[in-house]
Structure 1
Amino acid sequence: MKQTNRKPPNPRRELQSVRNQSVSFLGVAFLFSIFVNLLMLTGPLFMLQVYDRVLSSRSVETLTALFLLVGLLYGLMAMLDYARGRIVARFGAKFQSSLDERVFDGTIRRALYPQVRSAPATALRDLEAVRSLCASPVFLAVMDIPWTPVFLAAIFLFHPLLGWLAVAGGSLLIVIALLNQVLTKQKVAEAQVASGRANAFAEQARQAAEVVRSQGMQGDVAQRWLSQRSNALSQSISASDWTGSFTSLTKSLRLFLQSAMLALGAWLVLRNEMTAGAMIAGSILLGRALAPVEMAVGQWGLIENARTAWSRLGTFLDETPPEQTKTKLPVPEARLVAKGLTVIPPGVQKPTLRNASLLLEPGKALGVIGKSGSGKTTLAKALLGLLTPAAGEIRLGGATLDQYAADDLGHYIGYLPQQVTLFNGTVTENIARMSQQPDDAAVVAAAKKANAHELIMSLEKGYDTFLEGNDSQLSGGQKQRIALARALYGDPVLLILDEPNSALDADGTEALNRAVRSLKKSGKAAIIMTHRPQAISECDDLIVVEKGQIVKAGSRDEVLGSMVQNAGAIKRHLNKVGEK
Structure 2
Amino acid sequence: MAADSVLMPGDALARYRSGLIAAAAYSAVINALYLVPSLYMLQVYDRVLTSRNLTTLTMLTVLMLAAYIALAALGAIRNMMLVRIGNGVDAALSSSVFDAVFNRYALTRDLRLLGRLNDLSVIRSFIGGSGMASLFDAPWIPIYLFVVYLMHPYFALLVLIGLLILVALALLTEWTTGSKLGQASAFQSAANAGVSNAMHSIDAISAMGMTARVRERWSGQTLPAAVLQSKAADRASMLTSASKFVRITLQSAILCLGAALVIAGDVTPGLMIAASILASRALAPVEQLIASWKPFVGFRKSWAQLKELLALADDRAPSVVLPRPAGRLLLEQVSFRLSSGDEPILQNVSLSVSPGEIVGIIGPSASGKSTLAKLMVGACKPSSGVVRLDGFDLAAWNRDDLGPHLGYLPQEVQLMDGTVGENISRFATDATSESIIAAAKAAHAHDAIARLPQGYNTRVGIGGESLSGGQRQRVALARALYGEPALLVLDEPNSNLDEIGEKALQDALLAAKSSGVSIVLISHRPGTVAITDRLIVLKDGRIALNGPRDAVLTTLNAGRAPAPPAKTVE
- The interval holding the TM-score normalised by the smaller chain is over 0.9
Within 5 Å, give how 1:170-249 maps onto structure 2.
170-249=163-242
Aligned residue in 1 for 2:2: 4
| Alignment of 1:289 onto 2:282 | yes
- Residue 565 of structure 1 and its aligned partner are, at CA, apart by 5.2
**1:354 aligns to what SS in structure 2?**
strand
Within 5 Å, give how 1:145-160 maps onto structure 2.
145-160=138-153
| Alignment of 1:38 onto 2:36 | no
Aligned residue in 2 for 1:573: none
- Residue type at the aligned position of 1:4: A
In structure 2, relative to structure 1, the CA distance for the partners of 1:193 and 1:507 (3 Å cut) is same
- Deviation string 1:74-111 (CA, Å, 9 cap, x unpaired) is 00011111111122222222222221111111101111
Question: Which of 489, 492, 495 in structure 1 is aligned with 2:488?
Answer: 495
In structure 2, relative to structure 1, the CA distance for the partners of 1:23 and 1:347 (3 Å cut) is farther
| Alignment of 1:520 onto 2:513 | yes
Question: Which of 8, 16, 30 in structure 1 is aligned with 2:10?
Answer: 16
**Cα separation, 2, equivalents of 1:101 and 1:347:** 30
CA contact (8 A) 2:417 2:464 kept: no
CA contact (8 A) 1:148 1:289 kept: yes
- Residue type at the aligned position of 1:101: S
**Cα separation, 1, equivalents of 2:142 and 2:244:** 19
- Residue type at the aligned position of 1:127: L
In structure 2, relative to structure 1, the CA distance for the partners of 1:213 and 1:362 (3 Å cut) is same
**Cα separation, 1, equivalents of 2:294 and 2:195:** 25
Question: Which of 473, 485, 491 in structure 1 is aligned with 2:478?
Answer: 485
- Residue type at the aligned position of 2:35: L
- Deviation string 1:286-331 (CA, Å, 9 cap, x unpaired) is 1111112123323433222222222322332233336555222222
Within 5 Å, give how 1:319-398 maps onto structure 2.
319-321=312-314, 323-346=316-339, 349-398=342-391
- Residue 115 of structure 1 and its aligned partner are, at CA, apart by 5.7
**Cα separation, 2, equivalents of 1:145 and 1:499:** 62
Question: Which of 427, 430, 435 in structure 2 is aligned with 1:437?
Answer: 430
| Alignment of 1:447 onto 2:445 | no
- Residue type at the aligned position of 2:224: N
In structure 2, relative to structure 1, the CA distance for the partners of 1:297 and 1:399 (3 Å cut) is closer
Aligned residue in 1 for 2:45: 51
| Alignment of 1:419 onto 2:408 | no
**Cα separation, 1, equivalents of 2:157 and 2:406:** 75
CA contact (8 A) 2:414 2:464 kept: no
Question: Which of 134, 141, 147 in structure 2 is aligned with 1:141?
Answer: 134
Question: Which of 226, 245, 258 in structure 1 is aligned with 2:251?
Answer: 258
Instruction: Name which of structure 1's ranges 256-265 and 153-162 shifts more when overlaid on structure 2.
Output: 153-162
**1:350 aligns to what SS in structure 2?**
coil
In structure 2, relative to structure 1, the CA distance for the partners of 1:318 and 1:398 (3 Å cut) is closer
**Cα separation, 2, equivalents of 1:234 and 1:155:** 45
- Deviation string 1:487-516 (CA, Å, 9 cap, x unpaired) is 000001121100111111222211111111
CA contact (8 A) 2:459 2:466 kept: no
In structure 2, relative to structure 1, the CA distance for the partners of 1:246 and 1:144 (3 Å cut) is farther
Instruction: Name which of structure 1's ranges 216-225 and 61-70 shifts more when overlaid on structure 2.
Output: 61-70
- Residue type at the aligned position of 2:25: L
Sequence identity (%): 38
| Structure 2 residue runs without a partner (length 5+) | 561-570
**1:49 aligns to what SS in structure 2?**
helix
| Alignment of 1:399 onto 2:392 | yes
CA contact (8 A) 1:243 1:300 kept: no
In structure 2, relative to structure 1, the CA distance for the partners of 1:351 and 1:566 (3 Å cut) is closer
- Residue 346 of structure 1 and its aligned partner are, at CA, apart by 4.3
Instruction: Name which of structure 1's ranges 281-290 and 208-217 shifts more when overlaid on structure 2.
Output: 208-217
**Cα separation, 2, equivalents of 1:491 and 1:35:** 62
- Residue 380 of structure 1 and its aligned partner are, at CA, apart by 1.0
**2:150 aligns to what SS in structure 1?**
coil
Aligned residue in 2 for 1:29: 23
- Residue 471 of structure 1 and its aligned partner are, at CA, apart by 5.6
Superposition TM-score, scaled by structure 2 size: 0.92
- Residue 427 of structure 1 and its aligned partner are, at CA, apart by 1.5
**Cα separation, 1, equivalents of 2:284 and 2:548:** 81
**1:104 aligns to what SS in structure 2?**
helix
- Residue 210 of structure 1 and its aligned partner are, at CA, apart by 1.6
Question: Which of 529, 533, 536 in structure 2 is aligned with 1:540?
Answer: 533
**1:53 aligns to what SS in structure 2?**
helix
| Alignment of 1:268 onto 2:261 | yes
Q: Number of aligned pairs?
A: 560
**Cα separation, 1, equivalents of 2:54 and 2:358:** 99
**Cα separation, 1, equivalents of 2:371 and 2:498:** 26
CA contact (8 A) 1:243 1:298 kept: no
- Deviation string 1:415-460 (CA, Å, 9 cap, x unpaired) is 0001111112221111111112212211101112222222222223
CA contact (8 A) 1:32 1:84 kept: yes
| Alignment of 1:120 onto 2:113 | yes
Instruction: Name which of structure 1's ranges 220-229 and 350-359 shifts more when overlaid on structure 2.
Output: 350-359
In structure 2, relative to structure 1, the CA distance for the partners of 1:537 and 1:255 (3 Å cut) is same
Superposition TM-score, scaled by structure 1 size: 0.91
**Cα separation, 2, equivalents of 1:267 and 1:312:** 54
| Structure 1 residue runs without a partner (length 5+) | 568-580
- Deviation string 1:252-281 (CA, Å, 9 cap, x unpaired) is 211210111011112222233222111111
**Cα separation, 2, equivalents of 1:53 and 1:471:** 79
- Residue 212 of structure 1 and its aligned partner are, at CA, apart by 1.9
**Cα separation, 2, equivalents of 1:180 and 1:436:** 51
**Cα separation, 2, equivalents of 1:315 and 1:338:** 31
| Alignment of 1:106 onto 2:85 | no
CA contact (8 A) 2:361 2:520 kept: yes
CA contact (8 A) 1:191 1:239 kept: no
Within 5 Å, give how 1:159-170 maps onto structure 2.
159-170=152-163
- Deviation string 1:368-409 (CA, Å, 9 cap, x unpaired) is 000111011121112112333344433333433233221232
- Residue 5 of structure 1 and its aligned partner are, at CA, apart by 5.6
Instruction: Name which of structure 1's ranges 462-471 and 273-282 shifts more when overlaid on structure 2.
Output: 462-471
- Residue type at the aligned position of 2:395: D
- Residue 543 of structure 1 and its aligned partner are, at CA, apart by 0.9
**1:504 aligns to what SS in structure 2?**
coil
- Residue type at the aligned position of 2:76: Y
- Residue type at the aligned position of 2:303: W
- Residue type at the aligned position of 2:46: D
- Residue 282 of structure 1 and its aligned partner are, at CA, apart by 0.9
